[in-house]
A = this chain, B = another copy of it.
Amino acid sequence: MTSWVPVPAGSHFTIDNLPYGVWSRADGERRIGVAIGDHVLDLTAVAAAGLLDGALPDAARVFGTPTINELMSRGRPAWSAVRRAIGGLLSGDDRSVERMLVPMSEVTMHLAFDVGDYVDFYSSIDHATNVGRMFRPDAEPLLPNWRHLPVGYHGRAGTVVVSGTPVVRPCGQRKPPDAPAPTYGPSTRLDIEAEVGFVVGVPTALGARVAADAVADHVFGVVLVNDWSARDIQAWEYVPLGPFLGKSFATSVSPWVVPLEALAAARVPQPVQDPQPLDYLRSAADWGLDLAIEVRLNDSVVARPPFSSMYWTVAQQLAHMTVNGASLRTGDLFASGTVSGPERNQRGSLLELSWGGAEPFELADGTTRTFLQDGDTVSITAETATGPRIGFGEVTGRVDPALG
């Protein structure tokens, strides 16, 4: 299938993708759209014109809201029907929606969904091993539970922000190991975590469990996530209850939500798991995803983490998150954890790239970094490495100085 809308070579937004987002013009009114090439198709207008009624009888209402939550709540048959209808409008001979295309350069993107709960996993074996080697050099790098369950924790949903939002360097308590007491001040070890996030569409009732093989009935789509982290604040606070202020100041997500359905051809077997996980963590289908991620710091590519190396899949994460009966809400976001591959240039955090700050690395402009400096911009992109090209756009953010 090809589109009559021009799609420049290398564009992330092909007819095979059709990701959803929320955008506005200068008047600020939020509308739902789908990305195609360098344009946004105004779905609020398309639906108001009745062009999606065949797929979703109340499409005008669903696409008349300022988020995609209502669409996401409708379930997989509705998602597929709407996607087919949009694909048809953009690929047939009939160009009646041409006047509803808006150049991307003219729009401002917003957070596409109201976030329910935000959960962050820790599912890269290379990342967890690197962190273990740095922090516990004389012990087994992976903790005893790591190969038995996808370790995760809840983050702050209220500070999930859309790509482009500046990130103010956070202040807080830090205590170097040899200092007698903590001090207050701006973080001096500000870091990123390149992650992939999954957005829940169909909710569940309290007490229900979601089987690993039912993941596509509940997860609507996929985004890129930068889980900004203040390593000095985190190191002092996190025992015994986990990360809190070291993470809660900001989590950036990409504006375009790629439908899980669009990634069908990128699904690949996950790495072999040893030991075999318990029954509830097994799925019949493959839920590895072959995505090539790229992390840029200013003008330098600093890492290319391969998502296919993740030890735990989205299906296992969802099954684990609900095995205790915890309910899901439309808009729940769960992220993979930092994506790192086995190679040095595949590490998805500066903590790993600089080996805890001990090994500065060089940027294209000749300067070096361990952690982030004020004014630095970090951008994370990804596209499929198997199947037709599907891109995620980017999640980007600039570091602003701490407030006085």
Q: Please report A residues at the B interface, Cβ cutoff 8 Å.
A: 116-117, 119, 122, 143-145, 148-149, 151-159, 161, 165, 168, 170-173, 175, 181-184, 206-207, 209, 230, 233, 236-246, 248-250, 275, 278-280, 320-321, 323-329, 332, 403
A242:B240 contact, CB within 8 angstroms: yes
**In the assembled complex, which residues on chain B have CB atoms less than 8 Å from the CB atom of A144?**
175
Instruction: Known A116-B157, A145-B236, A324-B172; judge A241-B122 contact (CB<8 A).
Output: yes
Q: In the complex, given contacts A148-B181, A153-B153, A153-B244, what are 5 additional A-B residue pairs having Cβ atoms less than 8 angstroms apart?
A: A151-B237, A153-B243, A181-B275, A233-B324, A245-B321
A173 to chain B: closest residue by CB:
B149
Which residues from B are CB-within-8-Å of A249? 324-326
Contact of B244 with A152 in the complex, beta carbons under 8 Å: yes
**12 cross-chain CB contacts under 8 A:** A117-B157, A119-B244, A145-B173, A151-B240, A158-B329, A181-B275, A238-B240, A241-B243, A245-B320, A245-B323, A248-B324, A248-B326
How many Å lie between the Cα of A332 and that of B159 in the bound state? 12
Task: Give the residues in chain B near A332, CB-CB below 8 Å.
Answer: 158
Residues of B contacting A122 in the complex (Cβ-Cβ under 8 angstroms): 241
Is B159 touching A173 in the complex (CB atoms < 8 A)? Answer: no
CB pair A239–B143 under 8 Å, yes or no, is: yes
Residues of B within 8 A of A119 (CB): 244
Query: Distance (Å) between the CB of A381 and the closest chain B CB?
Result: 24
Interface majority SS (helix, strand, loop, mixed), chain A: loop
A243 and B241 CA atoms in complex are apart in Å by 6
List the 8 closest pairs (A to B, CB-CB), nearest first: A242-B242, A170-B324, A153-B241, A154-B154, A241-B242, A249-B324, A248-B326, A245-B324
Contact present for A243 and B245 (CB under 8 Å): no
Q: Please give, as numbers and ranges, the residues of chain B lying within 8 Å of A233 by CB-CB distance.
A: 324
The residues of B that contact A173 with a CB separation of less than 8 Å are: 145, 148-149, 278
Question: Smallest Cβ distance from A234 to chain B, in angstroms?
Answer: 11
Which residues of chain B have C-beta atoms less than 8 A from A155's C-beta? 154
Complex CA distance for A233 and B323, rounded to whole angstroms = 11
Q: Are A158 and B117 in contact (CB under 8 A)?
A: yes
Q: A161 CA to B205 CA in the complex, in Å? A: 12
Q: How far is the CA of A204 from the CA of B348 in the complex (A)?
A: 31
Q: How far is the CA of A184 from the CA of B154 in the complex (A)?
A: 22
Q: How far is the CA of A321 from the CA of B119 in the complex (A)?
A: 18
